[in-house]
Structure 1
Amino acid sequence: MKKYLLFLSVFAVEYSFAQQIAPLTVEKIMRDPKWMGIAPTNYRWTADSKTVYFNWNPENKPKEELYKISTASTKPVKAIDKEDEKLLATNFSYNKDNSLGLVEKSGDIYLQNFKTNKEIRITNTMERESNPVFLTNGDIVYQLGDNLYEVNLKSAETKQLTNFVKGKKPGRTDAKPVTDQDKWLRAEQTELFDIIKKRNAEGRGGARGAGGGRGRFGAPTGDTKSLKEIYADDKFLNAVTISPDGHYITYKLTTPALNNHSTIVPNYVTSSGYTEDIPGRTKVGENENISEGFIYDTQKDSIYSIQFSTISGIKDLPDFYKDYPKELEALKKKNEDRPINFFGPVWNENGTTGVLVATSIDNKDRWILKLDASTGKLSLIDRQHDEAWIGGPGISGFFQGSTGWIDNNRIYYQSEATGYSHLYIANIATGDKKQLTTGKWEVQTLKLSKDKSTFYFTANKEHPGITNFFKIGVNGGEPVQITSMKGLNEITLSPDEKWVTINYSFMDKPAELYLQANKPGAKAVKITQSTSAEFNSYKWRQPDMVTFKNRYGTDVYARVYKSDNPHPNHPAVVFVHGAGYLQNVHFGWSTYFREFMFNNLLADNGYTVIDIDYTGSSGYGRDFRTGIYRHMGGKDLTDQADGVKFLVEKYGVNPKHVGLYGGSYGGFITLMAMFNESDVFTSGAALRSVTDWAHYNHGYTSNILNEPFNDPIAYKQSSPIYFADKLKGNLLMAHGMVDVNVHFQDIVRITQRFIELGKNNWELAVFPVEDHGFIEPSSWTDEYKRIFKLYESTLKK
């Protein structure tokens, strides 16, 4: 019996060991990610800060389910009664003392009393009400359609505040030229009818004014003052905002871009059996929407423009025009204001002052501006100028960014003025500015406490690849670190600011939920365990975190996956992350989890793999971010070659047996490497690659390369299609045919170039049902089997 038990014990150990050392295969790692276990997501607190809800699927069901924990009992339980979610703390708009909150739920407005924990439904309609706020008098204002309505909580009266009207004002003729026939008919009407003669004399023409009747909610309006009709003409109305005292209503009218060409993406594998067209985006350089700002003075019943033409530097021309002297002279003669976009205003608590954030359409400038609402005039609080483009955490030119009020005189904002995104405050009365955080690290998220005494922020202060949670007083001081786990710590703060949930991950450990008191030194308690036994059975590598100097003397961060049994050829592979502005060299779990597993597979098969945060990646400050301005495929490409040199010197890699691969921006770099660094790279796999930046979208590309028609130099030195004749090594290209981001047309065009050039050392794999981000496991498997085959057949010879 003892021998039998010993046999079983040995067998169990050997079976477990066999499972642990079972080799990774492409088929295994590219399955539906459920095989790994599904991490929790979407953490949200209840308004009383006692419960956290999250989505989770620990039982590997077809769909994730709702779970919850409490601060008193941290064991996850299924939230069977989804009505509990009514208690969730969403994005409330608070009154002055934070005792009341307003929120939109499913298109209706709700009032939450935090003292009594009672919720009152304010609207119950088939239409959508949104953007609820409190006025200083205690009333509520919300938006229905294009218009604002005010609710008096004491009398329950609802009053319409604006009367925005779509279309043109009656009697306007500027939209259609007056023909001879029109003139004849008008003259005939005047000749025939006395009433027309009378109206013409009164200046009313043939139009009738709006009559009386009943308001939106049935309240009689016949004995009340008519609201001014504000016509939008042929423009889009948006950003309707009211000052807290109800005095001013600001709004934006946007003229849509005309004569743009939207692209078409054909879909071949359809249920109908016919090819169907997917409407696509426009390409870089197309016309852009132009916005104007207006103020409606409710007391004077008058409308006037916000005056952007006076702001500092509005006529400045970008430096790149120095490469185009004729165009520069022509623009100087025009002396026109640069078009801008703007966000806000954000009003101080008492409603006396609004602050706008404006960005130039060329994204070289970002202004923070004080608005004099009585005149529409603007005065400068801060100007951030960048001859490359404005960006960085909390700053991006596409939105308002981290900007708000501390009190009635001070605002906060983020700026890259020192080369890294940091926190600043400015006194709008005195003009004084103060930098609160400093150093060669970035403030990545920012939140002002409810009592407006403290800033909470996440930052990579310790290391570019480690994020933690900090706090600092609004008057400055030394930042206080709250979390301490080495890796990536993504924070959700409870409404009472006493607790934090942490979405924590490490290099070889996917994210899990942790709960911690919002205090320095408090223990983070692990709540979930999500990874499967099969995933845990493999000993995933923790890559070496290294730095090397590139040829320009800049520190470049990288991950290196070492092979325990290098192939005799000592081959290496470079993985190039996508997006350009993205960080993948960190101590957390990578969003490129399939590539992380594939890199482990490569290392198991004798390859050394390096994953580089090349120039242009996020997390390293302004100079690194903008190092690719006007030349993508410049420093970002040479960083890959310098990384190979580092592998040769430090890891014994054979420089004659190096490949690389990457998707999207990584695919673009792979193409540029195979063309312009062909002495370094023997084989490359370019996935969903941009081949010509003139065919990509506007928002991303115009920041980095300007526009094709005004900076062709930048596009020609940055686009792989212009260098296709230099292909020497072994190239695999793979692309989804219904890619609405990087269109299939991109890869078709460069394929035609290869054909015309007589190149024969390339192949193209197409995936008929895949968009930019592949979904089907069969597609992932096919793609990566091809990559692995490419390396096995070319780098080990």
Structure 2
Amino acid sequence: MRRLRRLLLVLLATLAGAFAGHAQDTAAPPDLAQVMADPDWIGQAVEAPYWSADGHQLYYRLKREGSAIRDLYRVDPARGGGVRLDAAQRAQADGPPVFDRAHRLAAFVRHGDVVLRRLADARSVEVTRGAQAAGALRFAADGSALYYRLGMDWYRYDLAAGVSGPAAVLKFEDDPDAPPRDDLARDQLRLFDTLRRQRHEREARRAEEDAERAVDPSRAPAPIYLGKAVKVVGSELSPDGRWLALVTEPKDYAAGRAPLVTQYVTPSGYAETREARVYVGRNDPAPQSLLLVDLRERKPYPVSVETLPGIAEDPLAELRAKAIAAARAAGDEARAKALAAPATRPLRIVFDAEDGDGAGLRWNEDGSRLAVMLRANDHKDRWIAEVDLARHALVPQHRLHDAAWIGWDFNDFGWLKDGRTLWYLSEESGWSQLYVKPLDGEARALTAGRFEVSHPALSADGRWFYLRANRTAPYSYDLYRVPSGGGELARLTTYQGLDDFVLAPDGTQVAVLHSSPYVLPQLAVVPAAGGAPRELTQTMKPAFTAQAWIAPTIVQVPSSHGAGTIHAKYYGPATEGSTSRPAVIFVHGAGYLQNVTLSWPTYFREQMFHNLLVRQGYVVLDMDYRASAGYGRAWRTAIYRQMGHPELEDLLDGKAWLVREHHVDPQRVGIYGGSYGGFMTEMALLRAPGAFAAGAALRPVSDWRLYNHEYTSAILNDPQLDPEAYATSSPIEYAERLADPLLIAHGLIDDNVLAADSVRLYQRFVELHKKNFWISLYPLERHGFQQPDAWYDEYRRIDELFDAFVKRRGMP
């Protein structure tokens, strides 16, 4: 009887498993509400991996379910099995480490405080305990100290004494004992004995303190006076502790008038306002200068940029002359003077994304040399120069010029281990490639070809560069390495969707983040010389992975305007029919972004929505139009002074391809996108009326004069200098052409693309007596929507728009 009961239980369990498996295989596809729900139902992306100081563990972060908090996890790279760390374990966890040159010591930041560890016995010392987070850790070149930064102030931890103190004391005021600067000040000292005695007392006290410091190194350094007219926005201390390189801006530089963003739904019940960013051209970013401070002599030296090749040239001279002539013709002499070119082009130190302090400054390992990357405020030139420490002057090493604009990416640079050779990324060949250049020699390319190289990382022994590249196809990214002395570029992974990587401290392994169209970034390790990867995480949820998602097919759309091939993702049914069908073209945002890849997409919700559209009978095309990332400099800069024009040509070619290859009805093609994609939706409907049956423009730019300076002035120049480019590129200038249904959706507290953009265009349509246009405003959403309710409402409206005006067009 007992045996029969066991058999019945086994049979029931087997049947239950079979039914469960069948239910999973035939699970109902998600509806729109599920697609737009909180993405926790999909799983969690592995974020920010790094190695422990001893290289035996990997740490990473995962978003906590139902919260924005990121939990810290630890995993053994040899065996896997990641575990979430509790509060007590986090209090003992490593942060991303740095090492001394002998690799005997490591240092890292834990919860904002500096921790020093001796690798031989894993003994740790807490160096700081404060409210301000530390950063920019580095060991002294001679191994005597650990340097770190709090804000813009540098500190030195003496390894032998176990004591911390300021590495430099900077005073942003005038030196009270500086020689008198003018006759009035000199007369004060001549006329008044009291002022002379006070000055002599200060000088005597300073001399005594200097003498004490000379024999007592434990004393804090004397202050260095930099004057009250500047502020520091970036700083880098030399590894030998001798020099401090500072990036400064004028302290009282006017920021310009900022528009206000109004929030109507508030906890207080009252409407509240706050400032957004300044409009393009309403005032240029503050010019920056490089200041070299000799900490031994306590003297600051301004570094002149006059030696930079082309610094005195005006690449916008023709446009400037035209704008000045127009101002004078209008009788506006004040404007004509304002447009005159300065004698020297204002510069900025290229932003350093790794350190996040705004300073593109790089010391070599022993602190004997400093390199700096600078960019002209007109975006046409980028320079890399060595700083001659003895002469306090720049020695140019490389100039990258672009008649359009220097790209935002591919600005990495640094030193090889010899301390005399620079490495850098450059688009000078038309594609981002890796170069090395001895200070007294010619530059040499380590990589070459019609592909893009990024994320270069030099191995600890200096023998190899590891990098991310799309060598096999524009949409396929993997990990590669190349000898730093030159040689073969070797492919180390075959994921085709490599997102990022981190080298192990001993250089034998690489931790990689990889993903695919329906798999969030996951963590694996691969041998540094290449080999089979070991997968360490699987963070996807069964509710998502059980779905039969449509794998996007990467297709090549021929350009009818001589641009070559436009890569796109096509979503369609498994079996093609011969009947006419409707289509939707999706336009990705950001302009300079690549959405046609084999990685997890930025627009993952839209990808799921495309699955829903296919189930409703549509086909969908997602294109990397000109201006997209991943296809070289010419593809990026094709939109210079004409945003919305080459891209529209590509979108129309995409529509023609759908009609030709997939039986799409040319009268039933819709278009939609957000941000830059919303801008392009408006340009498509307004510049090519009748080409698309309907469009949905989400958080769109409708007038580029209302966008920010850094992005817009690169592509369209300054609006006062180049008004034609703005008129050519702004949808509001074509408002009278609206003939097709247009839905506009915008977050009311969007502080990136302001809601005023959409409201102004809406009012223009009202005054033009246009029909079939709607606006949907979301009171609690910014540029990137956060609330599932808002996501659902927005896409419900898009779905209904396409159903009414695309899918059912021509039907009774």
The 1:379–1:115 alpha-carbon spacing in structure 2 relative to 1, beyond 3 Å, is same
Structure 2: distance between partners of 1:683 and 1:352: 62
Equivalent residue number for residue 237 of structure 2: 242
Give the fraction of aligned pairs with identical amino acids, expressed as a percent: 32
Query: 1:136-160 CA distances to partner (integer Å, 9 max, x unpaired)?
Result: 3333234456544444433456565
The 1:213–1:753 alpha-carbon spacing in structure 2 relative to 1, beyond 3 Å, is farther
Equivalent residue number for residue 483 of structure 2: 473
| 3-state SS of 1:251 partner | strand
Letter of the structure 1 residue corresponding to residue 540 of structure 2: T
The 1:752–1:100 alpha-carbon spacing in structure 2 relative to 1, beyond 3 Å, is same
Task: Tell me the CA shift for residue 13 of structure 1.
Answer: 5.5
Equivalent residue number for residue 120 of structure 2: 115
Equivalent residue number for residue 689 of structure 1: 700
Task: Tell me the CA shift for residue 682 of structure 1.
Answer: 1.2
Letter of the structure 1 residue corresponding to residue 720 of structure 2: F
1:452-463 alignment runs, 5 A limit: 452-463=462-473
Equivalent residue number for residue 74 of structure 2: 68
User: Match for 1:306 among 303, 307, 325?
Assistant: 303
Conservation of the 8 A alpha-carbon contact between 1:171 and 1:206: no
Task: Tell me the CA shift for residue 75 of structure 1.
Answer: 2.4
The 1:174–1:544 alpha-carbon spacing in structure 2 relative to 1, beyond 3 Å, is farther
Equivalent residue number for residue 665 of structure 2: 654
The 1:737–1:679 alpha-carbon spacing in structure 2 relative to 1, beyond 3 Å, is same
Equivalent residue number for residue 398 of structure 1: none
Letter of the structure 2 residue corresponding to residue 26 of structure 1: L
1:51-200 alignment runs, 5 A limit: 51-56=57-62, 65-80=71-86, 82-83=88-89, 86-92=92-98, 94-125=99-130, 129-140=134-145, 141-144=147-150, 147-156=153-162, 160-170=166-176, 197-199=192-194
Structure 2: distance between partners of 1:407 and 1:223: 33
The 1:32–1:720 alpha-carbon spacing in structure 2 relative to 1, beyond 3 Å, is same
| 3-state SS of 1:571 partner | strand
1:387-406 alignment runs, 5 A limit: 387-391=403-407, 393-395=409-411, 401-406=412-417
Task: Tell me the CA shift for residue 319 of structure 1.
Answer: 4.2
Task: Tell me the CA shift for residue 219 of structure 1.
Answer: 13
Structure 1: distance between partners of 2:471 and 2:140: 40
Structure 1: distance between partners of 2:13 and 2:175: 92
Structure 1: distance between partners of 2:40 and 2:494: 30
Structure 2: distance between partners of 1:39 and 1:313: 45
Equivalent residue number for residue 275 of structure 2: 279
User: Match for 1:523 among 511, 518, 532?
Assistant: 532
Conservation of the 8 A alpha-carbon contact between 1:104 and 1:131: no
Conservation of the 8 A alpha-carbon contact between 1:241 and 1:345: yes
User: Match for 2:517 among 501, 507, 514?
Assistant: 507
Task: Tell me the CA shift for residue 58 of structure 1.
Answer: 9.4
Between 1:503-512 and 1:570-579, the stretch displaced more is 503-512
Is 1:229–2:236 an aligned residue pair? no
User: Match for 1:605 among 594, 601, 616?
Assistant: 616
Query: 1:452-502 CA distances to partner (integer Å, 9 max, x unpaired)?
Result: 111111111111111111111111111111111233353233222322333
1:609-758 alignment runs, 5 A limit: 609-758=620-769
Q: CA RMSD in A?
A: 3.7
User: Match for 1:551 among 527, 537, 560?
Assistant: 560
Letter of the structure 1 residue corresponding to residue 225 of structure 2: I
Query: 1:218-243 CA distances to partner (integer Å, 9 max, x unpaired)?
Result: 99989989825313413212433333
Between 1:549-558 and 1:730-739, the stretch displaced more is 549-558
Between 1:148-157 and 1:783-792, the stretch displaced more is 148-157
Structure 2: distance between partners of 1:239 and 1:263: 28
Task: Tell me the CA shift for residue 394 of structure 1.
Answer: 2.5
Conservation of the 8 A alpha-carbon contact between 2:127 and 2:164: no
Structure 1: distance between partners of 2:29 and 2:133: 55
Structure 1: distance between partners of 2:534 and 2:218: 64
Equivalent residue number for residue 382 of structure 1: 398
| 3-state SS of 1:484 partner | coil
Task: Tell me the CA shift for residue 698 of structure 1.
Answer: 1.1
Equivalent residue number for residue 377 of structure 2: 361
Task: Tell me the CA shift for residue 78 of structure 1.
Answer: 3.5
Query: 1:594-631 CA distances to partner (integer Å, 9 max, x unpaired)?
Result: 00000111011111100000101111111111111111
Query: 1:198-231 CA distances to partner (integer Å, 9 max, x unpaired)?
Result: 256689599999779999xx99989989825313
Between 1:574-583 and 1:221-230, the stretch displaced more is 221-230
Structure 2: distance between partners of 1:603 and 1:549: 24
Between 1:523-532 and 1:712-721, the stretch displaced more is 523-532
Letter of the structure 2 residue corresponding to residue 99 of structure 1: R
Is 1:496–2:506 an aligned residue pair? yes
Aligned residues: 777
Please list every run of 5 or more consecutive structure 2 residues that lacks an aligned counterpart in the other structure: 326-335, 350-358
Letter of the structure 2 residue corresponding to residue 293 of structure 1: L
Please list every run of 5 or more consecutive structure 1 residues that lacks an aligned counterpart in the other structure: 396-400
| 3-state SS of 2:46 partner | strand
Is 1:541–2:524 an aligned residue pair? no
The 1:244–1:488 alpha-carbon spacing in structure 2 relative to 1, beyond 3 Å, is closer
| 3-state SS of 1:111 partner | strand
Structure 1: distance between partners of 2:610 and 2:491: 34
| 3-state SS of 1:137 partner | coil
TM-score (norm 1): 0.89
Is 1:42–2:54 an aligned residue pair? no
